[in-house]
Structures are given as structure tokens and as C-alpha cells.
Structure 1
């Protein structure tokens, strides 16, 4: 379990670096578009679709890492009132639901990418499938990270930074 956690930790770190880089690049592209459009009276036709693609990557990769680290939004009023064993059951049910959502992202995102494979984005000249790649990539990571959380909880290891106790409690 320790080796898997270490590998997935490196995957999460890499995903955060890619997400952060995409955010910075998107900000730069949008800033350049503003300068070109309003300062130079010329437009970068590729800036908007490229920025949307970058935004998809930083949103979906960041969301997956947020799930792994336990930083995602949650409604904790019931959790606070329950005994530790019941909390573990609810956390596990939540992780199973999130895993299912990730599987849906991979499945339906792949179908969307397949349907757009032959369509070219006119302003950047690449396949329209690239618009849906972040959904699939983020879904894969969500599944991996949710399964890791379930396995860690089953092994009695902590799975998030706030509120989750080890299984032997």
C-alpha cells in the first residue's frame, strides 16, 4: 500500500504541476488576446479555443487531486454528529459514488471524444477530441484516487486531512 500511495502521490504532484502550468498559460494567452485586440487592433484567432482547452485541464486535474487530498467541498453537518465507525461508512459510500462518477466521466468523455475525432477545430487545426481529453484524463485520476482512498480506509490508514479517522477506531 505504501508503494501505491507513493506512486499516486507522484501522479497527483505531476497533475498539480500540469494544472498550474495550464492556469498560467491560459492567463498569458488571455492577456495576450486583450493586448492584441484592444492595443494592436488585431485578434489572435486561436486564443479562445486554446484557453478553453487549458481551462479544462486545470479544472479536471485539480478536481481529481482535490478528491485525493480530501479538499473537495462536502456537507459535514451529519458527519460531525456521528460516531467514528459510522463516519468511515459514510466516507466509503461517498468514495464509491465518486468512483462511479469518475467511471462515467471516462466512459462518456471517451464517447464525446470519439464523436469529435474527425472534426477539426478551425482556429487551431487540431481534432475536436482534444476538447474532451481533460474529461477523460480527470476521470481516470478520479477513479484511481477514489480507489486509493477506499483501499487506505480498508487498511486502517487515514485518507484525508480533515475529519477522517483510521478504520480501527
Structure 2
């Protein structure tokens, strides 16, 4: 199992980096689009009608791709006060349960996102002219990435090769 994990890790690292860059690009594009919307509204007196639905589409992409990267890098929100006060074996068990639930949640996002996309594909997004199911593609892709990255962390934790997450407790320095 550890040989398999070592073999796929470069691909998963590349996938994580691609998700991160795509999320960053989405933030930049959304900022430009919203800037153009404000400029059009207040300077040109002609608000572009496509800017809001397109920026919402981009927001869905960068939020869900960023969340997936957060799962892989273990920087998602967590309440660790109980976990930190447990013995290492219980901490490991808690991590496995948490990662398993995250994986199931990502899978549910993908599954139900697919059902929603199929159910709304014949509808049209009025301003953009795109199929309505396009709105749910970020949910499908983001859920899949969350599941993949949670499975990677689950396997690492299970076989004991997990890289420990950075301690997020602030250390005060006494001068």
C-alpha cells in the first residue's frame, strides 16, 4: 500500500496544484468581471447583464476547488480541543473517522451534483445561454477532488505515513 501511495503522490500533488491555480485564476477573473460590472454601471450607465451569473459560476469553482486543496493540505477548519487531549491511538482513530466522513461527503456532493446537473441540463441559464446543469459541474468536480484527497489522507493515516499537520496553536514568545 505504501508503494502505491508513493507512486500516485506526484500525480495527486500535480492535481492539487492544478486545483489551486485554477481556484486562484477564478478569483482573479471574478475580480476583473465584478470590476467591469461596477465600471459599466457607474461610468458607462450600462451594466453588463452577463457579469453576475458568470462571476457566481466562477465563485462556485474557486470555492470548491479551494476546499479540495484544503482537505489535501489539512488546512480546513476543525475543532481540535478534544482531539489534542486524547492519546495518540484515539487521535489516529478520530482522524480516520473524520477523513472517512469527509470522503463520504465529497462523494455525496458528486453524486447529488450529477443528479442535479442531469435534471436541469435542458433548462437554460437565461443571460449566458448555457445549459442549467452547468451550474452543478463545480459541485461534481469539487466533490470528486475532496473525495480523492480525503482518500489519500485516509490511506496515509491508516498506514502511518501521514505527514503531521502543522500545529495551529499560536506560540507566544516571551522576551
Q: Is the 8 A contact 2:72 2:153 kept in 1?
A: yes
**Count of matched residue pairs:** 163
Listed as ranges, the gaps of 5+ residues in structure 1 are 164-169
Matched ranges for 1:49-128 at <5 A: 49-128=53-132
- Write out per-residue CA displacement over residues 110-130 of structure 1, whole angstroms, 9 at most, x where no aligned residue: 111111101111111111111
The structural deviation recorded for 1:160 is: 4.7
| Distance in 1 separating the partners of 2:110 and 2:34 | 29
| Distance in 1 separating the partners of 2:53 and 2:149 | 29
| Distance in 1 separating the partners of 2:112 and 2:164 | 28
Moved more, 122-131 or 12-21: 122-131
User: Could you state the TM-score of these two structures normalised by the residue count of structure 1?
Assistant: 0.93
The structural deviation recorded for 1:5 is: 1.4
| Distance in 1 separating the partners of 2:164 and 2:102 | 15
User: Could you state the TM-score of these two structures normalised by the residue count of structure 2?
Assistant: 0.90
Matched ranges for 1:3-42 at <5 A: 3-42=7-46
Following TM superposition, where does structure 1 have runs of at least 4 consecutive aligned residues deviating by more than 4 angstroms?
none
Q: Is the 8 A contact 2:40 2:46 kept in 1?
A: yes
| Distance in 2 separating the partners of 1:102 and 1:70 | 15
| RMSD of aligned residue pairs (Cα, Å) | 1.0
Q: Is the 8 A contact 1:29 1:51 kept in 2?
A: yes
1:135 correspondence with 2:127: no
| Distance in 1 separating the partners of 2:54 and 2:91 | 43
- Write out per-residue CA displacement over residues 56-113 of structure 1, whole angstroms, 9 at most, x where no aligned residue: 0000000011011100000001111111111000000000110110111011101111
